[in-house]
Structure 1
Amino acid sequence: MADSHQPFVALIVGVTGMAGLGLAEALKSPSALGGPWKVYGSASRPIPTWFPSSLLDKYIAFDATDAGNTADTLTPISGEVTHVFWVAIQVRESEQVNVTVNAIMLSNVLDVLKSGPGGNGTGSKLSHVTVQTGTQHYMGSIHDPTDSGQGLEPHEPPFREDLPRLPYPNFYYALEDLLESYAPSLTYSVHRSSIIIGASSRSVYNALLTLAVYALICGYEGLPFRYPGTRYTWEHFCDMSDARVLAEQHIWAAVTPSAKSQAFNCTNDTLKSIPMWVERLRDMKIIP
């Protein structure tokens, strides 16, 4: 439990996404492990109108790909932040570019926070970083068409955290290697979700939002709500991750000594929670 006079201070990078919103809600909960938390939230664009700003002590917009902008923006809080929750992602034209840009973003942020307000490490309180990745760790790049047809076989489920890496570029691997390079001056945890179910209009891979829009179109046109996926996805194994469960895992790992510098899968039974998340999308006026 955090000392009441020295509370933990979180920086959520990517706070307007599904996982980011879940983290903000969980950290501001009265029952949050390590709480009470001071919470900074950040993203690359101004805060959207649907985001409940009351969940944050301050919102910060900056471009993590720009080292100068990152330093200018984060240096004022670099003597406060004790924990970074990294749920940001950028997807570019190839996986090799994804490796470069996502590693640069994380490196820029960590360099500023580890340097502290004096720029020489003095005053930095950063102790732990949680990083959101996913099952692409076991399946290979799903973003880069150049990786297809090369005879590279993904792992078969069930996926275990100790499975070996696949032999081609993956920006998740780059993020893990970057975190390890900061040891032992800070600890880290890696959180490998499946398809995340949550509420956000800013998440590129918000499957729930896609399904909700599809259902609205079917209702408007008077069409039956047929399964919109492929035959393969209908007939094969698939799992999901509730953003709330994912947030609780991040926080648990951030404050639990035995969880340091490890990777954790995170999947659960999300079907029961889908109606709740649809109502959240309506309440936030993301869908009608």
Structure 2
Amino acid sequence: MSSKNVVLVAGVHGVSGRAAATAWANTRGAKVYGLSRRNADLPEGVEGLTVDLLDRQDVVRKLGELNGVTHLVFAAYIEKASASERSRVNVAILKNLVEVVEMASPALSHLTFYQGGKAYGSDLGPFKTPAREDDPRLMSPNFYYDQEDFLRRQQVGKSWHWTALRPEAIIGYATGNPMNLGVAIAVYATISKELGIPLRFPGSGKAHRALYQVSSADLLAAATVWAGVTPAARDEIFNITNGDQFRWQYIWPRIARMFEIEVAEPVPIPLSSYMTDKADLWREIAAKYGLLDTPYEKLVSWNFADFIFNSGFDNVSSTIKARQAGFAECIDSEEMFRAFFVALRARKVIP
């Protein structure tokens, strides 16, 4: 292969994977392959490969002859009910990919993979803030730790390196990826406006007042490319967020104005109960405004939104380590939300 960098992005149809593939495809001299179990539209400049990473033989058949790979971006994820099963499965798909690519591509130089707030216990309850990359681990099993430990063992005596990036609530868009806070807000606001009711923050009072942070998918993608080409990022973990924090109580009225809708006092509304019956209404909205024909259940995960909006504790990560290593990009979260909603309208996801 004549390209300077040949990049495989596993999980290309997810929010982080799609953004990373786009960023690498826009990098001069890069050839990008996007791996996924399903077919969907791909970013320009990305060649798709349908691969079941749980099936070792399928990985060998599809990737065993793909030599010259220099970079891996691992954004694949399989949800399971228990922590132990989640760990077993997600380590297995990483292991299958790395071992096959290693055999086929001696030129492999770097692997970037994504962790997140679960590394600090954000899914369990209040945790130390600001969270730092050197904070002690929690009780296992935790698939982030297990994937990292696998890579540390696998790397011994090899010439390639890895970088782990830890975002929080990635804001971006990918077709058929419902675990997306930004899309949940947009759909909730659109439906509220269509029903002629004000936009109320639907979570707990504690969450309404707590500090929170998010990560732009584009910012995370820029960090992914940076990690792949920067010696200071080798074998390191970095928190990657927008660089600011906000409280829902102050940003929520501003989000309402982005949809030209009135705001009202918060009421704890379980979205998983009150929004799941809106599929017919969404079809009417889609027809009325000529939106994409995306199945409602594949558009938003209301359970995911409920979790975020009811996390009644500060969620803050330090990004000092990334800045000291040379990645200084940041973005104002309010401006990010505004641009994201504009992009959703351009894609005909919302009116």
Q: TM-score, normalised by structure 1?
A: 0.85
Please state whether the residue corresponding to 2:65 is helix, strand or coil. helix
Matched, 1:22 2:10: no
The aligned runs of 1:181-196 (5 Å cut-off) are 181-184=153-156, 185=158, 186-196=160-170
Of 49, 52, 77, which aligns to 1:60? 49
Aligned residues: 260
Whether the 8 Å CA contact 1:154–1:166 is kept in 2: the answer is no
Whether the 8 Å CA contact 2:214–2:241 is kept in 1: the answer is yes
Of 119, 135, 141, which aligns to 1:137? 119
Shift of 1:285: 3.2
Query: RMSD in angstroms over aligned alpha carbons?
Result: 1.8
Identity of paired residues, percent?
A: 32
Whether the 8 Å CA contact 1:200–1:286 is kept in 2: the answer is no
Matched, 1:113 2:101: yes
Shift of 1:126: 1.3
Please state whether the residue corresponding to 1:182 is helix, strand or coil. helix
Of 251, 254, 262, which aligns to 2:225? 251
* Amino acid of the structure 2 residue aligned with 1:66: D
Shift of 1:68: 1.2
Matched, 1:102 2:90: yes
Of 207, 231, 255, which aligns to 2:181? 207
Per the alignment, do residues 90 and 275 of structure 1 end up closer, same or farther by CA in structure 2, a change over 3 Å counting? same
Aligned partners of 2:119 and 2:126: how far apart in 1? 9
Deviations 1:183-237 (A, max 9, x none): 2412100000011111123334210111111011101100101112222321212
Q: 1:70 maps to what in 2?
A: 59
Shift of 1:154: 5.5
Matched, 1:124 2:106: yes
Q: 1:119 maps to what in 2?
A: none
Shift of 1:279: 2.3
Of 80, 83, 94, which aligns to 2:71? 83
Aligned partners of 1:201 and 1:238: how far apart in 2? 26
Aligned partners of 2:34 and 2:220: how far apart in 1? 17
Q: 1:145 maps to what in 2?
A: none
Matched, 1:279 2:342: yes
Relative to its length, the structure with more helix (as a share) is 2
Larger Rg: 2
The aligned runs of 1:160-175 (5 Å cut-off) are 160-175=132-147
Q: 2:313 maps to what in 1?
A: none
Whether the 8 Å CA contact 1:47–1:59 is kept in 2: the answer is no
Q: 1:92 maps to what in 2?
A: 80
Aligned partners of 1:134 and 1:96: how far apart in 2? 18
Instruction: Give structure 2 stretches of 5+ with no counterpart.
Output: 243-331
Aligned partners of 1:203 and 1:168: how far apart in 2? 28
